Amino acid sequence: MKISRKRLLFVLFLPVFWILGGCATQTDLNAVQRDSNNMTKEVLGLQRNLYDLNAEIKDFSGKLDKVDKRTADLQRDVGDVKAKMGSLTKEMESSSQPMRRNQADLGARMDKLQLDVQNLTGRFEESKYFAEKTFGATKNYQTRLEELEKRVAALSKNPEGAGKTEPTGKPAAEKGEDEKPPMAISTSEPSKETPGKKSEPPPKTAAGPDETYKKAYDLYNKGSIEDAQKEFKKLLDAYPKSKYSENAHFWLGECYYAQKKYEDAILEYDEVIKKYAKGNKVPDALYRQGMAFWEMKDTTNAKLILKEVVRRFPQSDQANRARKKLKELG
């Protein structure tokens, strides 16, 4: 615009200069004409540049509009993704709650199953012990019965020489003089009783610790808790230092636990822990003692005792169950 204005002024005042100059030469006029032509060319070049610049500005504005539109689309997409993530998070939280409850129930069931397996294992071992002992006694009785049958057969064949010869064929003289003669064996003939005297039944012998413990344990397995409790007490009163005392105290505690007499159960478990510190039933007694406190809603002592199980017997099954229970208690 400035160049055009100069050119206009020059064209207007050119005649004036020419009149005033009066003596301008042809050379001067040619120079002025050349300057005018050059200015015209510059103006045209500037106009073309201006047109090109306007075109570039329009193109840039179009691209900027596209970028703004794309940005808006991306923002909408981000908003949609955030909304979907929020809904998915809520769905995961709502779906994880039943799973957590199921896991807790499964853990409780596993604890019960492990306890049942442990009890069954203990019962199996004890039953195995009694079975082996019973088998040994039966075998011994079978041997004695065979010997008695041989003696009866020998007496039946040679009743007159019974006082001279043993049923095995050895002379009686070979035996020591101080040895007592064998017991008389009753045959199929009726025994002759002395007139006026009545035969008395043999005296009843008191049951030993083996029989008493087996009876109590069988009653417990059958669910006769009160009868089992009486038999375990009878065993501890009659044989307080027998090899079954530790187990008797523990199973007596289990009887109380089954009857929901948790304080009595805790005392019996404590007998196992204190009197038999190196016994096999100590981990069980300690764990069950903690569970008894938990049943009594005494979570403080329950936690302390369960932690003691983990500390003293870290590799045991009881310690694993104690860890799970501690997680439940928080």
Is residue 19 helix, strand or coil?
helix
Report the mean per-residue pLDDT for the chain: 76
pLDDT of residue 166: 40
CATH classification of the domain holding 246: 1.25.40.10
Q: Are 268 and 302 in contact (CB under 8 A)?
A: no
| 326 and 224 inside one domain | yes
Binned at pLDDT 50, 70 and 90, residue 218 comes out as: very high
Q: Are 262 and 292 in contact (CB under 8 A)?
A: yes
Q: Are 197 and 204 in contact (CB under 8 A)?
A: no
| 250 and 157 inside one domain | no
| 229 and 123 inside one domain | no
Residue 166 falls inside a structural domain: no
Residue 320 falls inside a structural domain: yes
Burial 103-139 (b: 16+ CB within 10 A, else e): eeeeeeeebeeebeebeeebeeebeeebeeeeeeeee
Neighbour count for residue 152 (Cβ, 10 Å) = 15
Range name among 34-43, 76-85, 165-174 with the lowest pLDDT average: 165-174
| 309 and 234 inside one domain | yes
Neighbour count for residue 281 (Cβ, 10 Å) = 20
pLDDT of residue 312: 94
| 141 and 218 inside one domain | no
Residue 304 falls inside a structural domain: yes
Which one has a higher pLDDT value, 42 or 119?
42
Q: What's the CA gap between 104 and 108, in Å, rounded?
A: 6
Which one has a higher pLDDT value, 90 or 16?
90
Domain extent, residue 279, equals 210-330
Range name among 91-100, 149-158, 248-257 with the lowest pLDDT average: 149-158
pLDDT of residue 113: 72
Residue 138 falls inside a structural domain: yes
Does 172 score more than 90 pLDDT?
A: no
The count of domains in the chain is 3
pLDDT of residue 128: 62
Which one has a higher pLDDT value, 206 or 220?
220
| 219 and 326 inside one domain | yes
Number of H helices, E strands in the chain: 9, 0
| 215 and 155 inside one domain | no
Report the Cα 301 to chain-centroid distance in Å: 22
Residue 103 falls inside a structural domain: no
Structure tokens at 275: 């009197």
Q: What's the CA gap between 322 and 83, in Å, rounded?
A: 43
Digit-coded pLDDT (tens) for 23-64: 557 787 788 888 888 888 888 888 888 888 888 888 888 888
Residue 65 falls inside a structural domain: no
Burial 173-202 (b: 16+ CB within 10 A, else e): eeeeeeeeeeeeeeeeeeeeeeeeeeeeee
Q: Model's pTM, two decimal places?
A: 0.42
| 42 and 140 inside one domain | no
Residue 196 falls inside a structural domain: no
Q: Are 91 and 304 in contact (CB under 8 A)?
A: no
Structure tokens at 229: 């409790």
Is residue 286 helix, strand or coil?
helix
Domain stop point among 161, 191, 226 = 161
Residue 93 falls inside a structural domain: no
Alpha helices of 158-261 — where are they, by DSSP H? 209-222, 225-238, 245-258
